Amino acid sequence: MKENFFKKYWLVMLCGLIIGAAAVTLTAFGNPANMGFCIACFLRDIAGSLKLHGAGVVQYFRPEIVGIVLGACLMALIGKEFKPKGGSSPVIRFTLGAAVMVGALVFLGCPLRMVIRIGGGDLNAIIGLVGFVLGILIGIFFLKHNFSLGRAYKQSKVEGLAFPVMLTVGFVLTLIGVTFFAVSTEGPGSKHAPVLLALGLGLVVGALAQKSRLCMVGGIRDAVMFKEFGLLAGFGCILVAVLVGNAILGNLNWGMEGQPIAHTEWLWNLLGMTVVGWGCTLLGGCPLRQLVLAGEGNVDSAITVLGMIAGAAAAHTLKTASSADGTGVNGPIATIVCLAVILIVSVTHLKKEQ
């Protein structure tokens, strides 16, 4: 049984270990503390670099995001799994993507950074994990009652490639020094690993995540719903790699106060991640998985990522995003609104038994 488990799930576990190691490496080479890999933070930084919001401290066109999408895209093309598909409630997906991002920025991290924060000793992230699991359980309740955003249909190759190509073009423009993109001179946006290292590790993670289908939400969901622990093992491997890496580098500091780019308002840490867990369960995958699917030509996921970028812009413009000082002035009310929106989506998409 045990041997069988490793044989079946070695790829997703290897992927988890590599993501964890990549996160520690990127932090060692300049990324913000406990933020080696955070899809929410990085999409927020990209929104900032496009000047969709004016928060000067979080503006940078993160190469990791480009790498993940391209890595997944290339791997899917090689494995003949690039299958453009879409048309499953695009506006609802955009909205859910935005809500998930608002929730993530109340907590200060996507599910991936939540694990990375735990691996750095940040106990606030354990409270986030409780909220995350709670959100997934609520989502599972609706899945079990036949929740569906409707079926997707085949799309053209051009449609499927549009998002990966758009992202690549934007990235190349930043490389050749086009000046209309913003770059932070202070704060988290100014802290970044060398471009090629970030891009390269993004490519590796994207390719492996595509092959192994690693997903933070899927791990907990499948364990609860189907007693399948493969994806959850990948989740665990990320934590192990980050813990070991931080212990080696001496970055492991257990506690709640004074954690890097984190706050201690437990209720909003919890509810922010409830928004993320619930929203992502309805969407079918965590922010990392959405990027990977967008790379595979899934335009519903591409729309979701665009929704997340819009959500990030809104979060900073409307002052709902948290900072190390605590929640934004409008953070709590925005969290409640997001929960209400997700509840409405959940209830209005319950299909009758066929």
Partner 1 sequence: MIDARGLSCPLPVIRTQSEIAKNHPDTLEVLVDNKPAVGNVTRFANNSGYNVTVKELEDEEYSLVLTKR
Residues that bind partner 1 (CB under 8 A): 81, 83, 85, 88, 143-144, 148, 150-153, 213, 218, 221-222, 225-228, 284, 298
From the CB of 148, what's the least distance to partner 1, in Å? Answer: 6
Between 143 and 239, whose beta carbon lies closer to partner 1? 143
Between 84 and 245, whose beta carbon lies closer to partner 1? 84
From the CB of 152, what's the least distance to partner 1, in Å? Answer: 5
From the CB of 102, what's the least distance to partner 1, in Å? Answer: 24
From the CB of 40, what's the least distance to partner 1, in Å? Answer: 22
> 54: which 2 tokens?
């004016």
Between 2 and 227, whose beta carbon lies closer to partner 1? 227
From the CB of 143, what's the least distance to partner 1, in Å? Answer: 6
Between 148 and 185, whose beta carbon lies closer to partner 1? 148
Between 73 and 105, whose beta carbon lies closer to partner 1? 73
